[in-house]
């Protein structure tokens, strides 16, 4: 996720670009840059770091230009650095562009461009786009808009692009596919951005571009076309939010916004991962796992990411032909785990900066174990330490309570487990169904969003309760752990998670009239057993919320939520969304500061 802005008008472009980028910093903040254009040429200024660093660089620079583009980056290809920052320019420094999205076929296009003599200065997927434009504009002699249309037809993946060119300093070219882009105009000029908050100080009349549309922005007009060059009707909307709520996408908090982003970030995480019936994970090819005689695998992390590890291990231990363990990093680092060159360690982290997980990774490396990091933040410490890195593409997670990072971790770990089965030649039951259903997972996650008002109602069960109990068996157990953690951290309701079969060995002593029990029963081989366990709690007066599948007989229970039909291994992903909403609405009911729970920080960089 990145944020982009563009302005062409009567006054200076820079003030619009900078205020817009500030409103879009929630989309990314590892580097920032602008290009201004006039008859004298391009002026580009960009830097690694937050927007304030770009502001500092521009403080004493005179910037009278009326046309420009801006970018705030959240790295996906190439670590955060000055060279990888946007805008990117062609070799003549006459065309400059900013990009949000991922160009899937950039490696192939880059080879072709290198063969034609183009030189690259960054590691980004974006730079190929500016060279393609250069090729079509200068070598094919197409007008710039036609060069853009030709270019977008060559790109696979997602993109929102803003382009300026010294030959036409009076216009900005824009194109969109699967990454957001909105246009606006007011008396002082015409503008575009990744999201409406960037425009709202100037106008509340917004034109969201559709996929497959391109536009030409001039100081006093704009024109919209499809990718074939045909004009398309403009559907302007009047934007109802103020700037602050618009940054949260109209939601009351970043947590709810991030819950709702899950279908799209899961789609991004899976992008390019399917090759027919195979999972494509070339990042781990370099580990040569098939030649290493791997004898044990550890999944290591903290907090929510550790629950993702328990999910991965529960899944993998069903078919792995070696020892498989999940461990909290804080225990792993002091517990003398058996580590050698036949050990594979997978470290999972949203931030890539958690102190205990970094220490565990260093320990594994010092014993010559093979290390892989599953991380969200590109270029973070763990990505520099591990032998191989897999990225969850969740975008920046602002809410302290992790939601979209967790579900993208589950998705990527499920893919990694399939890949491990293939590489190690282990027979994986349900492999074909898993690959099939991963491809429809974003839609299934979208479907469970429909339970939002039900979860809001159910959260009222906790209104006068101090405790809640989460139970599940097999792959439902990490869901129970995560549901309990989420509830604790945002609503401060005490919550515990148990294996459903363990309830009768002690915890059931706590169950009394109106105790709230959340039961996950999505795994066909054990769901009926979990259902009998909840009957035991109902007999003692508990109020039970049952999260199960469409075909589980459960008519006699009062609060039943049924997940979409997917292979059972993926039910914890759709189920997690319901548990996140349950925690969210309980916290709202109790008046808690949802995005910033007490005593917690987003990244725990101390032991």
User: Which residues are the active-site residues?
Assistant: 2, 602
Residue 480: C-alpha distances to residues 287, 307, 314, 476 (Å): 33, 9, 13, 6
Pick the closer one to ligand F6R by CB: 465 or 603: 603
- In the complex, the smallest distance separating the C-beta of residue 489 from ligand F6R, rounded to whole angstroms, is 6
- In the complex, the smallest distance separating the C-beta of residue 418 from ligand F6R, rounded to whole angstroms, is 22
- Show the 3-state SS of 80-146: CCCCCCCCEECCCCCEEEEEECCECCHHHHHHHHHHCCCCCCCCCCCHHHHHHHHHHHHHCCCCHHH
Q: Are 89 and 42 in contact (CB under 8 A)?
A: yes
- In the complex, the smallest distance separating the C-beta of residue 481 from ligand F6R, rounded to whole angstroms, is 11
Beta pairing partners, 545: 518, 559
Which residue of 253, 351, 408, 537 would you call a contact of ligand F6R, by CB under 6 A?
Answer: 351
372 binds ligand F6R (CB under 6 A): no
Pick the closer one to ligand F6R by CB: 302 or 412: 302
Distance of CA 589 to the CA centre of its chain: 27
Q: How far apart are CA 562 and CA 157, in angstroms?
A: 33
305 binds ligand F6R (CB under 6 A): yes
Pick the closer one to ligand F6R by CB: 109 or 388: 388
Contact window for ligand F6R (CB under 6 A) among 139-147, 151-159, 347-355, 568-576? 347-355
- In the complex, the smallest distance separating the C-beta of residue 349 from ligand F6R, rounded to whole angstroms, is 3
Which residue of 315, 354, 381, 523 would you call a contact of ligand F6R, by CB under 6 A?
Answer: 354
DSSP string computed for 34-49? EEEEETTEEEEEEEES
Pick the closer one to ligand F6R by CB: 8 or 329: 329
604 binds ligand F6R (CB under 6 A): yes
Residue 481, both tokens: 């752990």
- In the complex, the smallest distance separating the C-beta of residue 405 from ligand F6R, rounded to whole angstroms, is 6
Decide: helix, strand or coil at residue 426. coil
Q: Are 73 and 372 in contact (CB under 8 A)?
A: no
Pick the closer one to ligand F6R by CB: 256 or 544: 256
Number of residues counted as binding ligand F6R (CB under 6 A): 14
Q: How far apart are CA 88 and CA 96, in angstroms?
A: 6
Pick the closer one to ligand F6R by CB: 3 or 303: 303
Q: Are 194 and 177 in contact (CB under 8 A)?
A: no
Which residue of 5, 100, 151, 357 would you call a contact of ligand F6R, by CB under 6 A?
Answer: 357
Site map (CB under 6 A) of ligand F6R, residues 274-303, x = contact: ----------------------------xx
Q: How far apart are CA 50 and CA 30, in angstroms?
A: 6
Q: How far apart are CA 407 and CA 263, in angstroms?
A: 10
Pick the closer one to ligand F6R by CB: 109 or 375: 375
Site map (CB under 6 A) of ligand F6R, residues 375-414, x = contact: --------------------------xx------------
For the sheet with 388-391, list strands across it: 323-328, 296-301, 343-349, 370-375, 388-391
Distance of CA 76 to the CA centre of its chain: 11
Residue count of the chain, please give it: 607
515 binds ligand F6R (CB under 6 A): no
> Residues 472 to 511: which contact ligand F6R by CB under 6 A?
489
- In the complex, the smallest distance separating the C-beta of residue 401 from ligand F6R, rounded to whole angstroms, is 4
Contact window for ligand F6R (CB under 6 A) among 4-12, 74-82, 345-353, 529-537? 345-353
349 binds ligand F6R (CB under 6 A): yes
- List of residues contacting ligand F6R (CB under 6 A): 302-305, 349-351, 354, 357, 401-402, 489, 603-604
């Amino acid at each position: 996720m990145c944020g982009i802005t563009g302005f062409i008008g009567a006054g200076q472009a820079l003030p619009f670009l900078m205020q817009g980028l500030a409103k879009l910093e929630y989309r990314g903040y590892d580097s920032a840059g602008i290009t201004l254009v006039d008859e004298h040429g391009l002026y580009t200024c960009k830097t690694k770091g937050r927007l304030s660093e770009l502001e500092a660089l521009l403080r004493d620079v005179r910037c009278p230009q009326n046309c420009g583009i801006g970018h705030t980056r959240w790295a996906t290809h190439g670590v955060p650095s000055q060279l990888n920052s946007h805008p990117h320019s062609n070799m003549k420094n006459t065309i400059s562009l900013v990009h949000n999205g991922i160009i899937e076929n950039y490696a192939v296009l880059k080879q072709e461009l290198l063969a034609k003599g183009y030189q690259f200065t960054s590691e980004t997927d974006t730079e190929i786009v500016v060279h393609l434009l250069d090729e079509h504009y200068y070598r094919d002699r197409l007008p710039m808009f036609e060069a853009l249309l030709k270019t977008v037809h060559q790109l696979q993946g997602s993109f929102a692009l803003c382009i300026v060119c010294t030959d036409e300093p009076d216009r900005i070219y824009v194109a969109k596919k699967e990454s957001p882009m909105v246009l606006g105009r007011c008396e002082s000029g015409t503008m575009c951005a990744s999201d409406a908050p960037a425009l709202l100080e100037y106008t509340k009349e917004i034109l969201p571009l559709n996929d497959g549309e391109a536009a030409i922005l001039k100081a006093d007009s704009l024109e919209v076309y499809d990718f074939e060059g045909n004009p398309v009707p403009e559907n302007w909307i009047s934007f109802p939010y103020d700037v602050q709520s618009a940054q949260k996408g109209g939601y009351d908090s970043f947590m709810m916004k991030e819950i709702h982003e899950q279908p799209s970030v899961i789609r991004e995480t899976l992008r390019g991962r399917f090759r027919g019936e195979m999972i494509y994970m070339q990042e781990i090819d370099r580990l040569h796992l098939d030649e290493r005689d791997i004898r044990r695998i550890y999944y290591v992390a903290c907090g929510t990411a550790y629950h993702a590890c328990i999910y991965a291990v529960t899944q993998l231990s069903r078919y792995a032909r070696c020892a498989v363990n999940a461990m909290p990093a804080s225990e792993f680092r002091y517990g003398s785990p058996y580590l050698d060159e036949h050990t594979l360690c997978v470290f999972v982290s949203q931030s890539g900066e958690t102190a205990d997980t970094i220490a565990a990774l260093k320990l594994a490396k010092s014993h010559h174990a093979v290390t892989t990091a599953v991380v969200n933040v590109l270029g973070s410490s763990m990505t520099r330490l591990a032998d191989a890195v897999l990225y969850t593409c969740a975008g920046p997670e602002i809410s302290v309570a992790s939601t979209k990072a967790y579900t993208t971790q589950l998705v990527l770990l499920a893919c990694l487990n399939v890949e491990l089965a293939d590489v190690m030649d282990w027979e994986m039951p349900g492999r074909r169904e898993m690959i099939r259903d991963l491809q429809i997972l974003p839609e299934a996650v979208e479907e469970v969003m429909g339970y939002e008002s039900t979860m809001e109602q159910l959260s009222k069960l906790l209104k006068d309760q101090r405790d809640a109990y989460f139970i599940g068996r097999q792959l439902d157990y990490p869901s129970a752990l995560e549901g309990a953690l989420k509830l604790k951290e945002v609503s401060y309701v005490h919550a515990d998670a148990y294996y459903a079969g363990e309830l009768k060995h002690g915890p059931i002593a706590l169950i009394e009239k109106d105790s709230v029990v959340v039961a996950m029963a999505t795994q066909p081989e054990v769901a009926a057993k979990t259902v009998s366990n909840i009957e035991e709690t109902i007999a003692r007066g508990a109020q039970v919320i049952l999260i199960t599948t469409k075909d589980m007989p459960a008519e006699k229970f009062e609060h039943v939520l049924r997940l979409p039909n997917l292979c059972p291994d993926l039910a914890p992903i759709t189920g997690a969304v319901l548990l996140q909403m349950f925690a969210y609405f309980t916290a709202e009911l109790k008046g808690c500061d949802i995005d910033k729970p007490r005593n917690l920080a987003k990244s725990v960089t101390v032991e």
